[in-house]
Amino acid sequence: MLYTKRLFCTTLAALILCGCSSTGDASKASSDSSASAESSADRVSSSSDTNSSGNAATAQTTTATKATLTDVVTKENKPTKVNNDQYSYSFSISGFDSVISMPDFNGFLDELQDIINGADFSLAFSYKNMNTGAEINFNQHRDFMTCSTIKVPYVKSLLESDVNLDQIINKWSAWEGDTGYTAGLSNGTGISTKELMKRAVSYSDNTAYFLLNNYYGYSQYNANQTRLTNNCYLGSGWIFTHCTAAEMLRNYTDVYEYIKSGRYGSFLKEIMSADDVDVNMQIRSALESKYTVCEKYGSEFGSWGNENQFHDCAIVFAESPFVLVIFTNQAPETEQSAEIFKKLAVVFYKINTVINIKK
């Protein structure tokens, strides 16, 4: 069914010039949106979803919890083997070998379950420690719109193809509904590939991403999806797609490896962690006081079937680095909808801290 839905979406999108537009605040310099032509029968939904407004301004507001980090002081310093099969949470645990404090580890897992229990919207996440391969997953095979989280794996595919970063690309059109940054330039304006990459990633500029995709295509990106055993392909007229948290985890793990050793890895890290990113209210905002966090958010203001989406994908350069992908169906870009990302970021920071990485 997943393949059929994505094939249908790709075919439909090829018949239209631009798959979607954001109905969010027009004053935003770059509205982040993605196309979704999925059928109502296949649409990812939850009977408990409560945020259905297409405009963030109408979302219920709450006082946000200020996420603060303190060093995790363990209850014991006793490396203990982990039996991954002994746990019966709603999330899955795999790849844990040992932790430095079993009481803390178990307590953090309880905290994670409490966060899940408190979510009254569709939620999925995937976490992976880069040193040990330990993973925690929840609803990781549920299908979501990628929104703009797809822009980083796409830009990475261009960088590893050694495209000429000084190549000038003329702005000839704008992504439908986009009004700021690149979209506001006069047609015929030349912009370097490097600058378009910066705009696409740091500012989530849809028109910059559109121009890159139109000029360079998507063959290397699609080859990467096959290599990673993912099914989130791009095609003509279809530059946003659907994926699962598990698939996006593999993409951002791949990005992490490129940042470490790729020719332009430092540039990709720079634009993912820039001070002037368009939105910084999720994972990064919770952890950046302690670590460098490379991040790409994605959002959709319900322009397709009034389905709101708010996502975040982050590479956290902790003492033992980890990747965290979180997908939600929420009215995006509000303090209320950002809260779940901060809570999950902090609890995964704590879980990550007690992993025994010493052999």
pLDDT in tens, 209-256: 999 999 999 999 999 999 999 999 999 889 999 999 999 999 999 999
- For residue 54, pLDDT over 50 is answered with no
- Which residues have CB under 8 Å from 259's CB, separation 6+? 265, 266, 268, 269, 294, 315
Q: What is the sign of the dihedral through the CA atoms of 202, 205, 211 and 216?
A: positive
Residue 126 belongs to a domain with what CATH number?
3.40.710
Cα distances (angstroms) measured from residue 112 to each of 90, 188, 268, 350: 10, 51, 31, 10
Instruction: Quote the DSSP letter at residue 238.
Output: B
Q: Which residues pair with 135 in a beta bridge?
A: 94, 128
Q: How far apart are the first and last CA of the chain?
A: 43
Q: Per the domain annotation, does 197 fall within a domain?
A: no
pLDDT at 358: 82
pLDDT in tens, 73-127: 677 888 999 999 999 999 999 999 999 999 999 999 999 999 999 999 999 999 9
- For residue 58, pLDDT over 60 is answered with no
pLDDT band at 303 (very low <50, low <70, confident <90, very high): low
pTM of the model: 0.83
CA 100 to chain centre: 30
> By residue range, what is the domain housing residue 332?
31-164+242-353
Q: What is the sign of the dihedral through the CA atoms of 106, 108, 113 and 117?
A: positive
Q: Per the domain annotation, does 64 fall within a domain?
A: yes
Share of the chain above pLDDT 70, in %: 79
Q: Per the domain annotation, does 120 fall within a domain?
A: yes
Q: Per the domain annotation, does 90 fall within a domain?
A: yes
The CA distance from 253 to 144, in Å, is 19
pLDDT in tens, 136-171: 999 999 999 999 999 999 999 999 999 999 999 999
pLDDT at 24: 33
Q: Per the domain annotation, does 224 fall within a domain?
A: no
pLDDT band at 45 (very low <50, low <70, confident <90, very high): very low
Q: Per the domain annotation, does 71 fall within a domain?
A: yes
Q: Per the domain annotation, does 250 fall within a domain?
A: yes
- How many structural domains is the chain composed of? 1
Q: Which of 13-27, 45-59, 176-190 has the highest mean pLDDT?
A: 176-190
Q: Per the domain annotation, does 192 fall within a domain?
A: no
Mean pLDDT of the region 346-354: 97
